Structure 1
């Protein structure tokens, strides 16, 4: 059953940073004695904030004269609730003008810092020397799936054990660029202790979700592998192949193409295909894949060349141009004709033999 105690804040500046620090200190002491968790909320609010952390208390922006409620759901917490409520109700106002000015500056900076923490895309966790979480920003919620209201005021290692937060407090050493897995997500973390007067007073963990980067890395590896296979295929075929962009400039030639036309690969790249074969006429039907070109070289060889359009997302991006030597085609045709004649001869001989057997 929930134990509650209502009080009216009597400080002129409300529950400002200095008072919040005093309340957090008292709350930590009472929580340790009575083994409970204390919270503070406005009267009309269903949810409160942990009393053992300064920033959540300040973020309530409680003003002078407002009624608030200290509460706890833990068993045996009645005395702790009463003690903290009494402390809140009688916290003296600091009247020194210089102190008020300092409080105003602290308050403004605290709220500004809170806005900054909530605006950054990286997850941010801050904790005190006991490992109690006091900052858990929006990005940390999104990456871990843990709500700030559930983890603030509690030991971080119980909620994000992969981060080894206690080790950070004990080691006094920074740990940068560590890779962790949280659920189905991969994150890179930078962990740093907060050291004051050679004593660790807390720690900060900044982490970034790299799940998409991991996926992109895998896709990039697959693309590189596919490209290597594709290059090997292009270099081992007998046909001469070149690729041109939509400006009809050559972007790639394979080894057979260089050998066929005696064009050094490095000398033809970025040149227009028309420049390589100035005597030929490469019209639009050729680049549309509707027309073939037969061209001759100075040494008397003939080649047949055709182009296939490259379409990506229904947009024309260039062509793959394939060239094959006609003499090779003629030789192949002669071999086919010879094989055809041999086949016909064997069929005739077989027919004669079958006739004799009958």
Structure 2
């Protein structure tokens, strides 16, 4: 409420005994006041000289040189500047001197000014309460003592299924089904937490009598939609009995309400603000709203946003970890269009936010489980070469799964037959490129010119100018596995580096470059770093591809996997050929003792051979021994130093055994020559010599 000091006319001049009435009139006209205080020499207030007093003595008797003291009246009442307008607006005098707390004259105020300021304050408060009424989230309905509806806010129109225009002025029972509001008027007893249902919507209602001078003059019902929340059976706080209906509404609102002036200072707030903000709501009154922002209670200053927007603003705030608030700001405009009040409504959405976060956590957990299930399924669906019980191979498969989730190149290092190609396929299948193509090229099986064409493509010169695309282009958005990349010629390695670096492929100078997006997976029998040091592998290609090297262990390094792999291949071949064969214990022991230089590929071929050639249901140790070593069938002599033999003959026999074993393990003269460290022509010559010596 305004105070006298806010509406008075401040004075720095008073009248003394030496002033004339002419001086008094001049000062009153300059200061635009209707009277002036008259003081003695000690500054004590003796009375007032007013325009009305001059007029009462008659204009015809007015002489400017007359003493002002002749017009002095002692019919006055001094007011303190801190006095509320509500206490003085109906006093009997027309003008009053205003004193400060030190009893010093600081101004004057007229009764007209008091009435005008008091009327403006009452009008402003009415606008303020009306804005609160209309912006409240809760439905509000009030009736008078006769049961006639006196007010209905927009939030109450939906549950009552009527409008303000249709309802106001009519009897309550003629508009809605009675909800107990008439009973509150009759007995004057408030009701809290009452439930009622309209259609499928559930509401909780507070009904409070409106008291005036201790008498019930009506009742107000405040109700909130609780259909979307399972547990919101919290009673609304008890409210003070107020003399005015709209003040009761503010205090009984479940939402927090803060009312600020145009400068952002808090004029009043309700108890719900303290509950939501976990602070003393009484202590907030009189403080700037900006303090709540500076202390970190709010991240955004809604006062500033409302002024900037010039209208309604709604924001979401999280002042505490357990609170999520929907805050709305509504401006109240003066007749001149200026914002004089801002009504802030705060709704606690913590429970809904908690449910939303719980749902998000469940979703993330579900995605994690799905990823783990997919990984397990991929392991189960993998070929025999990828079945593993050993720690060393499980680590390899786990690393392969992790790199499948990214797009980096991978180099698989391991002996022939360990399953590098199957691991490359597994990486492709589990990656985001799984829907794209997968191509494989053996870099050691093709001549240099054909390998270049297979990789990069070739433009065929004919009348139709048809081009043959390479696998790097065909596998766009897919993967290419380069087997034995260590055998790739150096000039092709250099071209591959440029393609991988630029992400483009250009078959000829005349043809435009093609953008490609292909992932490279490479396999090698030997560590590429050693070849780089020997200048047999392009260093730029090494650093481009060797982002994630994976060493695949030989079968002899993971004996735990041998029995599961044997049983898997046995079952596969039994189903394939319609048999039900098994291994004897002696046969299993021979398989465990064998070094398996050809790794999984050798084992798979050997088991199929045993299943097909064995006459009995039980494959014996003798059959396994015969196939594994073929001691009696081999035409080669075993060099045993039991006596002196010609040195040249011993060397020839040993060379024949080595060449034959290399051909058995590697299959081609090129690979056998590489394993033996000789030229291919040497291997061919030794084989021909061996064939000639055996009569073949």
| Highest RCO, 1 vs 2 (Cα 8 Å, sep ≥ 6) | 1
Query: Which has a greater percent of strand?
Result: 1
**Which protein is bigger by CA-based radius of gyration?**
2
